[in-house]
Amino acid sequence: GLDDEASGGGRRSVRVMTQNMYVGLDVFPLAFAPFDELPFVAAQAFQNFEDNRPLDRIVRIAEEIVLTQPDLVALQEVTRIFEQFPSDTMTGNFVPNATDDVIDFLAVLIWDLAVLGVPYEVALEQPGADIELPRFDGEVDGAPVFTDVRAKFSDVILRRRGVQTTPLFGINYTARLPFPPIPGAFVPRNAVAVTAQLNGQTVRVVSTHLEVIIDLLPPEAQPQLAQVADLITALN
C-alpha cells in the first residue's frame, strides 16, 4: 500500500506485503524420481534444504516486515517439516504420519517478529500439500537406514497486532497435480482471503499461490487456468 500522508492525502492507506517463504529446495527431482531412487533423491534434497539455512532466511523476512510494518502480510508456501524413524513409507505406508518436529516456518517467523518488537498474529491459514518421503541416511552394519521426512505447506495471512480482520475464505483448488512417486499423493494449491478494518476503511485482501505452467501440458489442461476459475468463483 502507499502512504497517503506522503502525498498530502491526510491518511495512510492499507499497507500489504506478500512473500513466498520457499522451502529451500527444488521439488521437481523428487516429483519425477522412481520410488526405488526416491530415498537417495530425498537425501540430496534435504541437504539442499539445510544448506539454504531456513532459520537465517526466516529472520531476514522478519526484518523486512519490521522495516515496513505492513498491516497485513500474505505468505505462500509456509512449510512445516517433520521426521519419523524408522521409515514406514519404505514398508508401504503412504499416509503422512511423521510427527517429530524439525522446523515450523510460521512459528519461527512469529517468534522472530515478537523478539524484534513488532508482533504479528495469524489472521487466516489454509493447509495445502502434505507429502511424506523416505530419506536414505546411510548404512549401519551394512544395512541401509531410512527416515521419513514429511512436509506440510499452507498459505497464511498475518495481521499486525491490533489490526482487526474477519476471515472470508480459505480454499484448496479443485485442480491439483499428482505426486507420482507416492501412490495417491497430490499437491493442492490454495487461496486465503480476509477483510480488514483500517483507517475507517474496510478492505478485502486475497492471497494465492497458483500452480506454475507445466510445459508438457496443453493450455486447456493447465491446472493454473482451472485454479483461476475457482478463485473467481470464490471472489464472487
Mean pLDDT in the chain? 91
Cα torsion 221, 222, 226, 232: sign: negative
Do 188 and 176 meet the contact criterion of CB atoms below 8 Å apart?
A: yes
What is the percentage of the chain residues whose pLDDT exceeds 90?
A: 76
Cross-sheet strand order for the sheet of 201-208: 164-172, 190-198, 201-208
Which pLDDT score, from 0 to 100, does residue 2 have?
Answer: 34
- Could you give the CA distance from residue 12 to residue 14 in angstroms, rounded to a whole number? 7
Measuring CA to CA, which residue among 172, 24, 51, 31 is closest to residue 105?
Answer: 24
Question: pLDDT tens, 108-152?
Answer: 999 999 999 999 999 999 999 999 999 999 999 999 999 999 999
Q: Residue 11: pLDDT above 60? A: no
Please list the residues that pair with 147 across neighbouring strands.
Answer: 135
Q: How far is CA 21 from CA 63, 77, 171, 201, in A?
A: 14, 6, 19, 29
Q: Is the pTM of this model over 0.85?
A: yes
Question: pLDDT tens, 54-89?
Answer: 999 999 999 999 999 999 999 999 999 999 999 999
- Could you give the CA distance from residue 133 to residue 39 in angstroms, rounded to a whole number? 7
Which pLDDT score, from 0 to 100, does residue 219 have?
Answer: 76
Which pLDDT score, from 0 to 100, does residue 96 have?
Answer: 96
